[in-house]
Amino acid sequence: MQILILILKKVELVDDIMEKLAETGVRGGTIVESTGMAKSLVNMEDLPIFGMLRHILTDDEKLASKVLLFVLKNEQVMTTRRTIKEVIGDLSEPNTGIMFSIPITDVEGFGE
């Protein structure tokens, strides 16, 4: 089993991602509201370079992100990754997101 973690900057795509994953058989996940490091840096008064960033990044929506967590069987991981990329596009594009998975050695409460 693995946990797949997606830190999503394109928060408007969450519903589309969940719908497509449900179609592939992924039945559960957790969504956590989050903000990135940029929001903290924008609010730092004593760093002059970030004053310029403040003007660029003042829209809270640009600073928002969501963390999506999925506990998956090993055979679901590649399909899930592929489905997520079909919805959000190329993850190497700026302000898209970061996706990774980590092996899980022990799981309780994972309904079958």
Residue 22 is assigned to a structural domain of this protein: yes
Residue 41 is assigned to a structural domain of this protein: no
The 10s digit of each residue's pLDDT in 29-84 is 999 987 766 555 555 555 555 555 555 555 555 567 899 999 999 999 999 999 99
Q: Domain span at residue 92?
A: 2-33+64-103
Residue 9 is assigned to a structural domain of this protein: yes
The 10s digit of each residue's pLDDT in 18-30 is 999 999 999 889 9
> Is the pLDDT higher at 94 or at 59?
94
Is pLDDT at 11 greater than 70 in this prediction? yes
pLDDT reported for residue 109: 83
pTM comes to: 0.78
H helix runs in the chain, sequence order: 14-23, 37-42, 49-56, 60-63, 74-88
Among all chains, which residue has been given the structure tokens 């409460």? 109
Side by side, the strands of the sheet bearing 2-8 are 30-35, 64-72, 2-8, 97-103
Residue 27 is assigned to a structural domain of this protein: yes
